[in-house]
Structure 1
């Protein structure tokens, strides 16, 4: 999701401390409560986040504050600093607001694409043959999109979008000599995706996960976590930044072996006349 200055402050604070999965989940819920969250009681936050009041209180301590009162005062300072808050998705002009949000999401990718996690992901996936790509439910189309183009430039690509078969797919990829898998994990995060990530690591496979938030509860199960925020201004999430990150990742992978890439692209071009229709 797109975040304002106060949300960025909370996210940076959370990333600077070692939080439990439950605590990361509370922070993730709080990111969607701005600006109201700075003026809520522990009971109100607990009710909205679906946790107990003591859990919210312990979060403040885990973030380095003497108590919840001190934490809330810092939240208020961040909110009252004059940073515009994110727009409501319920407005009539939500389509226009969604475009603005996606622009902000795309802008945030600059740091991701230029960062060390991206470089590590490229290193892991460039040497994977076969390359397994997994995306379930809302992430299925993303996995198929990546796999469609990856097959044109990489020697062996296997895409799984079936939750019922994902464990078998991970096991088979391991038996075929795969060294790393790419997972797309967009909200709502399927339990089968998280289980498959953990199975892959248990089998000795490296896991590269593309998710919408650095505080996803399975972040520690990823060897590399790449974050591409989703657009939340429409009735369903939009994935413009996720698609851009995915194709940027594939582009970077192809650049590790430009000779192979060129050969495979030329071979594909030789087949284009068989299926393309020119008006």
Structure 2
């Protein structure tokens, strides 16, 4: 969904059409098990792709890198960013923290995340995701990881009011096969997967995609491996002066999608909301003011 390259994989895809046949073979090899596939020696990378070493050297320069060393340095930087644990992140931020209040520093980071994400977000893909979620004939499933499961639940909670045929998948992976069993071609699976990526998510996406399920992915700038299976991929900036990644902009995009789906068939949504309010009143779930 990004208009400007952010990662080495972005750069490769942006230049793909201008590559020779051998270079395209190399590019596909690099993307197949990215970024690990590019971390070996230049000879190893060439052998794995079935091309010559000079082909590797020519392609990385064509991509805009001064040489293989610079190309690989970018890959190492990406890998470090995706694998960094909360303690390492906090130490890095603390050593570089400006002498301003945390509220201001956090606000600056979030605003920058918003700016960067929106500048790269493809509105056509956003609209495509909204159309999938708005199609009442499709079942929609939501799943997230240890932290992002809360975002999946938030999205699901709103969508089950707006439309029928929604399901929240458990964070317990042993329950996933039953969900996949119920999925049909054309259904939608919304996945949240940010660094450090959860290995089972890629397997789930692969199996669902093979069944004809459309996948909508929420991830980070470095991109979860699930991206290769996704119909729509929201790559969202998440850096913050904290041990934890920020979910603010992810939630912003989620809420924008909620509104887009809600407005697509407002009469039906309003009727469901009115019915639900009646059920709440019968159950005396919410306290009324006297």
Q: Is the 8 A contact 2:57 2:68 kept in 1?
A: no
TM-score by length of 2: 0.68
Q: Which runs of 5+ in 2 are unaligned?
A: 17-26, 47-52, 74-89
TM-score by length of 1: 0.71
Match of 2:94 among 81, 90, 104: 90
Q: 1:192 matched to which residue of 2? A: 200
Cα deviation per residue 1:56-80 (whole Å; 9 max; x = unaligned)? 994883462587448849x9xxxxx
Matches within 5 A, 1:211-250: 211-213=219-221, 215-250=223-258
Q: Is residue 2:131 matched to residue 1:123?
A: yes
Aligned residue for 1:89, secondary structure, equals helix
Compute the RMSD of aligned alpha carbons.
3.7
Asked if the contact 2:11/2:63 (under 8 Å) is kept, the reply is no
Q: 1-side partners of 2:33 and 2:62: how far apart?
A: 13
Q: Spell out the pairing of 1:138-157 with structure 2 (5 A cutoff).
A: 138-157=147-166
CA distance in 2, matches of 1:179, 1:253: 16
1:60/1:215 Cα in 2 relative to 1: closer, same or farther (>3 Å)?
farther
SS of the residue 2:62 aligns to: coil
Displaced runs of 4+ in structure 1, greater than 6 A? Answer: none
Question: What does 1:14-163 correspond to in 2, within 5 Å?
Answer: 14-18=12-16, 19=27, 20-21=30-31, 24-25=34-35, 51-54=39-42, 55=45, 58=56, 61-62=59-60, 64-65=62-63, 68-69=66-67, 72=70, 88-91=92-95, 95=102, 96-111=104-119, 115-127=123-135, 128-160=137-169, 161-163=171-173
Say which is worse superposed, 216-225 or 146-155, in terms of deviation.
216-225
Residue from 259, 267, 278 that aligns with 2:267: 259
Distance of 1:63 and 1:137 partners within structure 2: 40
